[in-house]
Amino acid sequence: MAILQATHLLKRFGSVTAVRDLSLTIAEGEVVGLLGPNGAGKSTTLHMMLGLITPDAGSIKLFGMELAQHRTEALSQVNFAASYVDLPGVLRVREVLDAFARLYAVRHPRRRVDEMIELFELGPLAKRQLMALSSGQRTRVQLAKALLNAPRLLVLDEPTANLDPDAGDRIRGLLSRLARENGSAMLITSHNMREVERMCDRIHFMSDGVVVAAGSAAELAGRYGAEDLEEVFLKVARG
């Protein structure tokens, strides 16, 4: 059974068609990358999958359930992290995680928060206010929050966008391990082509609201006669 099955999605904002006729499937445990130039419609696509905005046409099924009809049940098994989402800066790391663990009705909230603090090496930061953290530290808190409910689908919008190469590399390592060990499916956007090559089983290239190419990094490189994904991106983006 597919974790996510989106068919013929359409989303307009006034006169702008952000997403037109987009279909995308994610299997259990699969890591799928959504690539494309700024304004291609990636974030809009993710926000529809998360129920944050409603498509004008098309259907989204999560775990076999229509999102529109089974919103609460479907979304309880999903989570989200993005470089542009800010958690409340005055709260301390552990307070934020405690609050979200309760919000998600996690079964053993204290134990789960401890596990996430351990996994993301947040122990020394647990009592610090979020506003006093570096971008890399804040990203780790975001991911810890996003994994509290052990989501079967983790949606990440440019998770490493604000990170230096070392912090980014550590986050990538952690996410890859999670996908491997927990079988979590992921839908990721990124402008870091090496990151996508390393992490994603399959890639969808978007341009102007539609998927223009899909396949593994190697398949896409072959199809476009390109050395690597970066070259594929340039060829796709420049038509």
Ligand X SMILES: Nc1ncnc2c1ncn2[C@@H]1O[C@H](COP(=O)(O)OP(=O)(O)O)[C@@H](O)[C@H]1O
Closer CB to ligand X, residue 18 or residue 144? 18
Note the residues at the interface with ligand X (CB under 6 A).
13, 16, 18, 36, 38-44
Cβ at position 43, least distance to Mg ion in Å: 3
User: How far apart, in whole angstroms, are the C-alpha atoms of residue 42 and residue 19?
Assistant: 8
Query: In sequence order, what E strands does the chain have?
Result: 2-13, 16-27, 31-35, 57-62, 65-66, 78-82, 153-157, 185-189, 202-207, 210-215
Cβ at position 209, least distance to ligand X in Å: 7
Q: Which stretch binds Mg ion (CB under 5 A): 27-35, 36-44, 119-127, 147-155?
A: 36-44
User: Binding of Mg ion at residue 142 (CB under 5 A)?
Assistant: no
Q: Which stretch binds Mg ion (CB under 5 A): 41-49, 96-104, 168-176, 224-232?
A: 41-49
User: How far apart, in whole angstroms, are the C-alpha atoms of residue 85 and residue 126?
Assistant: 20
User: How far apart, in whole angstroms, are the C-alpha atoms of residue 183 and residue 195?
Assistant: 19
Cβ at position 52, least distance to ligand X in Å: 10
CA distances from 215 to 30, 37, 227 (A): 13, 18, 15
Q: Which stretch binds Mg ion (CB under 5 A): 37-45, 52-60, 93-101, 116-124?
A: 37-45
* Residue among 152, 224, 113 nearest 1 (CA): 152
Identified binder of Mg ion from the candidate list 5, 19, 34, 43, rule CB under 5 A = 43
Q: Write out the residues near Mg ion by the rule CB under 5 A.
A: 42-43
